[in-house]
Amino acid sequence: MQPNPEMLEVWQYVKSLGMQIIITSDMYLPKQFIAKLLHKNGFIDYKHLYVSSDIGYTKTSGLLYDYIKRDLSMQPSKILHIGDNYHSDIIQAQKHGFQTLFYQKIMERYLHEDKRSSLLYTHFPKDLGASILLGLKALHWQKKCLNLIQENYWENIGYEYAGVIGYAYMQFVAMKAKQHDIKHILFVARDGYTLQKIFDIMQTDIQTKYVYAPRFFNLIYTLQHKNDENKALAILNFLANKYKDIQNLKQQNIHSSALEILKNNQQIFENAAQEEFGLYANYLQKILETMSIDSKNLNTKITIGMVDTATIEFSAQNLLQQTLKFLCGNKENTPNIYANYWLYWGYEHIRNKLPPHSFFSAQQYLSSYHPQRWDFVEFLLTSPELPIKGIDSNYQPIYDDKPNKHELKRQSVYPHISEHAVLFAQDIRNIFGNTNVYFSAQLVTAYLDYFYENPTNEDIENMDSIYHCCDNTHDNYTPLFTQKIELKDFLISYKKTKKRLLQTDWITKKQSIMLTAFDLIDVKMRGIKNIELHILPRFPPCFNTSIQLIGYSTIKFSIGRTSHE
């Protein structure tokens, strides 16, 4: 239990006035237990404690008030009774002559203010995890209202969303680690950055390490471009920046496709890929050594866990497994990677024939049951690092030295998100200790969907600047929630643009203004020689004319609907 900061402040104020404090409770818990809770939370130095389970009378029936009057031998009109149950604390107290003050429950006030939490309360009425989550959020909200904590937008997103889903997922990972006696876990960048910090709060006997194993590495080391020119070009550009002979090949074959260059110089690229893989193997070897794993004596008795969020081709798992095999030098003695995922996006593997030692936080995530905006999950569970481009000769990551504005924006806001996500996990640990707090897959999915379906103006304003990478070479980015719709889109096709924009609630202020303006003014361009300008096009026809310009261009001007509409 946590103290109500409002009531604690009232308590201290009353004590400063030298007034006596009497506590009444209809709780079924023993009086001694309640007294300990009060003392633990700072409610000390009171005169009397009346508990229904101890006395045998309740406030609900009104009999406890009669008992208090007899015990205190005081006029009830001189006693102010404060309570949050209108029947037992107010009506019944008034019937027995007490002065009363109704104190509305924090949760009731909070649910009235927060639509998304109200939806959670309505749809998960008997879910213990939902009750705990709402209680934590209500307490957090109250502290902000009282200025006991100061948060910016991104810190709040970190606490209320990244922290919640990170903690829920790490509970699953902790369970799997215990089931399989896993003592070492690798958290895959960048999704594992905050997850590792949360997991370390929950666990003390499992060694964890943050490791780089992006899909791009697999592409470079295996050269499996699958006849995709973009992937082949990514391989060519990366290796050309590191190897002089490949740079020369690129310059000498400037008119050839990347696929042709790779095909015609296969051995050169394979040699470079093997050298890059060797660097990665040495990098992983160093990682294992920091976890007290002897890379020269690897065997199947060593259990190594891995944490990622989602997968399509199991690339990180395969890369780590292949690297262990390379380090081991003996396939039969290679340790298995026990990989943990939130969900599987791919279609190549039949549900019952997924790669061995792969675990998913909820089986329904293998179907279509998952958050509507998975990109939001990846944004919440990322890192402040820039995209990694390789491993150097000192076995350190090589970061993108020319990041785009979208990566720089994410880099600027994410430290706030991560710090407060970890704070949420720490709060749960402080409140509940070693007691497991479980948030179900259905609860977490609904919780994320309610955010997407019910944005506030503050959400739209802040999230409009967040873009998500949609390829493994970090070349293409799309808005996380809002749509990239500008003035020219309205000019080219107003109806289609309006229809597209109104399909979501994530409409920016600028887009709202354009919607309003184009409902008042409709501009149609039928080629460069025919321009139509309609004022108030939704109103009855009022005025209509055409103006012939030099060069046979025509401007049609109307107020109200045109006659043919």
Q: Verify that 220 and 318 share a domain, yes or no.
A: yes
Integer Cα distance of 218 and 393 in angstroms: 18
Say if residue 237 is in the same domain as residue 302: yes
Reported as a pLDDT band with limits 50, 70 and 90, residue 267 is very high
Residue at which a domain ends, from 81, 103, 125: 103
Last residue of a domain, one of 405, 424, 452: 405
Domain CATH number, residue 51: 3.40.50.1000
Distance CA 402, CA 66 (A): 77
The answer to the question of residue 171 being in a domain is: no
Same-domain pairing of 424 and 513: no
Q: Does an H or E element contain 176, and which?
A: helix 163-179
Confidence band of 507 (pLDDT split at 50, 70, 90): very high
Closest CA to 46 of 91, 8, 87: 8
pLDDT averaged over the chain?
Answer: 89
Q: Are residues 29 and 118 located together in one domain of the fold?
A: no
Is residue 58 located within the same domain as residue 131?
no
The rounded percent of the chain whose pLDDT value lies above 70 is 92
With respect to residue 481, please indicate whether it lies within any of the assigned structural domains. Answer: no
- Residue 521 belongs to domain spanning: 487-559
pLDDT digits (tens, 9 = 90+) for 71-84: 999 999 999 999 99
Judge if 297 and 372 occupy the same domain.
Answer: yes
Quick check: bond before 538 cis, omega within 30?
no
Q: Determine the pLDDT at residue 527.
A: 67
pTM value is 0.83
Residue 377's CB is within 10 A of a number of other CB atoms, namely: 24
pLDDT at 538: 58
pLDDT digits (tens, 9 = 90+) for 350-386: 555 566 677 776 443 344 467 889 999 999 999 999 9
Res 365: pLDDT: 39
Looking at the fold, whether 252 and 360 belong to one and the same domain comes out as yes
213-227 average pLDDT score: 90
Q: What is the mean pLDDT of residues 33-39?
A: 93
| Tally of structural domains, the chain | 4
Residue 108 has pLDDT above 50, yes or no: yes
pLDDT of residue 366: 42
In a domain, 128, yes or no: yes
SS3 544: strand
Is 89 within the bounds of a domain? yes
Q: Is residue 467 part of a domain?
A: no
Residue-level pLDDT at 380? 97
pLDDT band, very low/low/confident/very high, at 300 (cuts 50, 70, 90): confident
Q: Is residue 564 part of a domain?
A: no
SS3 per residue for 50-117:
EEHHHHCCCCCCCHHHHHHHHHHCCCHHHCEEEECCHHHHHHHHHHCCCEEEECCCHHHHHHHHCHHH
Domain assignment of residue 539, yes or no: yes
**Shared domain check, 306 and 263:** yes
Q: Quick check: 442 pLDDT over 90?
A: no
Bridge-based pairing state of the strands 467-469 and 477-479: antiparallel
Is residue 470 a part of any domain in this protein? no
- Residues 464-476 have a mean pLDDT of 82
Same domain, 262 and 327: yes
Residues 276 and 397 reside in one and the same domain: yes
**For 377-420, how does the pLDDT look when each residue is reduced to its tens digit (9 = 90+)?**
999 999 999 988 888 878 788 888 889 999 999 999 999 999 99
Same domain assignment for residues 334 and 207? yes
pLDDT number for residue 294: 87
pLDDT at 310: 84
Dihedral sign of CA atoms 365, 370, 375, 380 in order: negative
Average pLDDT over residues 177-182: 91
Are 301 and 191 part of one and the same domain? Answer: yes
Tell me, what's the pLDDT at 448? Answer: 96
